Chain A
Amino acid sequence: MTFKQTRNYGLAVLAVTAMLGLGLGLAPALGQEGLARQDQLKELTADLSGISSRVQTAVDQTMVSMQNLQGYSGDEQTAAAFAMLDSIEAETREVIDKIKVTSPFMSALDDARATVLVLLRKNQRDPYSTARDQRIAALTASLASIDEQSKQILAAEGTLTSLLANHAQMRAELIRNGEVRAVQAFVDDLSSLTDGLEQMANVLSEISDNVVVVPTEASLASE
């Protein structure tokens, strides 16, 4: 799209949103864009929910495998241990990819934050009215919710990276020993990793249950 086309496109859209703004007696609305952003966040949080369920399933399967480990022979134990590590590692990487700084989810969340922040400041500059205070309250609540989610995700990413490092140490030990050193010790170590991953799955699940509401000028006006 050329710049002129872009400008024309932008003006056409904005003229329409301004019409909506006129009808509402408020600042120009970003209605359609807001809805798109909200839909996108919903889609991405649903995606996180799917990952969370899958991680939970992988953890459960690993637990079952660990219980069966005692019944295997030495080589079988080693092979089973590597398979479990592979599975947990793959899940860990998948979750990291979903929540890392440059992931679509974090981009959507940060984008929502930037938009809400600018909208909040615009409303703070508006002349005083009860409606304006209500809009400010809604935007402030939204911003707090976005910040809380960002905080949780950053913490989760750090924990997962540590898990990956611990995981590598276990794998190295398995390679060095050539067999599962002591089944009980391995099971104990792996349990701590699966616990960590399970905790992350719960964080993702919690986040996906609480889709951030991103107010727009249109939605604020209609409320």
Chain B
Amino acid sequence: MLGFKYQNTAAVRPARWVCVPAVGALMLGLAAVPARAQSGNGFEAEFAKIEAALVVLERSVGVSGMTDEGASPSQVAVVEETAPEVATTTTPPPMEMAEPEPRDGFTFLPLLIDQACPGGLNDARSKVDELILQTARVEGVVAQFGERFEALDNRNLEYIKDDKLNVCPTRFMGDLGKLASELAEPKLGLKIQEAEALLVCIQTEWLDVNTRISDLEGSSDPKDIAAREALGNVLIRWAAADTEASRAVSSLVFYEGRRQRLAMAVDRIQSRCAILGGSYK
């Protein structure tokens, strides 16, 4: 329950317990219990009802791309006819994005500006889900690196204490070299760049819906009030995608940082071994 929030990753990333605040639970009709403790079936049934209600609301104000597997087949068919899931926009240019300063740790690659954005919310959701799966795979690889490093580090500390050993054992050096070359492999920078491009698309949509709500604020026209409420529900869904995508990007940044730190730590041990022409101490 640590680490990348969707996996059991205690060895990699710190734990994050999330409780559903009572206010939100009331609004959604969910029980106010820690989210992880929700029982599957009842929760899913409630969720499906809410999803279906949201789809109806969204359609009532003409929001496109809102199909969802939680809706009934007929609902999905209607939406598909009117709003096919095609990529129609591209990643917007960064707004006043400062050049990343080189720091200790991960540095972002420049934002992609010509990547196609999702065609709608449903498409965005599936891309976020895909990103979450990719992140879980990265997590598995980095967790394994961490375990292997820890074993080597423990051996290193034992060797430091062993006065009879004044040269790093050949096998130990071989293991270090193997880990070093594997740590150099993953190209997480590019994955993060793509993930952030998706996040920018979602953030833009989110801000757009938020602006539309703001424009309707203050109007007492019943149509505007209804539209505002419906857009509020749409906003929730974009916000959900935004938060999950943000979390996935931050997880990838964490794993990339961890990979870099491990690579530096392995390098330090190798350097220590190399001092005095291979003498260990």
Contacts and interface: CB of A to CB of B under 8 A. Distances in A.
A125 B235 contact: no
A13 B35 contact: yes
Contact of B14 (A1, A9, A14, A108): A108
Interface string A97-124: 0001110101110110111011101101
A122 B281 CA distance: 47
B184 interface: no
A130 interface: no
B207 A15 contact: no
B203 interface: yes
Nearest to B104: A147
Nearest to B204: A125
A178 interface: no
Given A33-B18, A101-B262, A125-B97, A107 B163 contact: no
**Main secondary structure on chain B at its contact with chain A?**
helix
A131 interface: no
Contacts, number: 202
Contacts of B281: 165, 168-169
A161 B161 CA distance: 10
A168 B281 CA distance: 10
Interface in A130-179: 143, 147, 150-151, 158, 161, 164-165, 167-169, 171-172, 175
Interface in B67-101: 94-98
Contacts of B149: 101-102
Interface of B: 5-6, 11-21, 23-25, 27-28, 30, 35-36, 38, 40, 43-44, 47, 94-98, 103-106, 108, 129, 133, 146, 149-150, 153, 157, 160-163, 196, 199-200, 203, 206-207, 210, 232, 235-237, 239-240, 242-244, 246-247, 249-251, 253-254, 257-258, 261-262, 265, 268, 281
Interface of A: 1-22, 25, 27-28, 30, 32-33, 36-37, 40, 89, 93, 96, 100-102, 104, 106-108, 110-111, 113-115, 117-119, 121-122, 124-128, 143, 147, 150-151, 158, 161, 164-165, 167-169, 171-172, 175
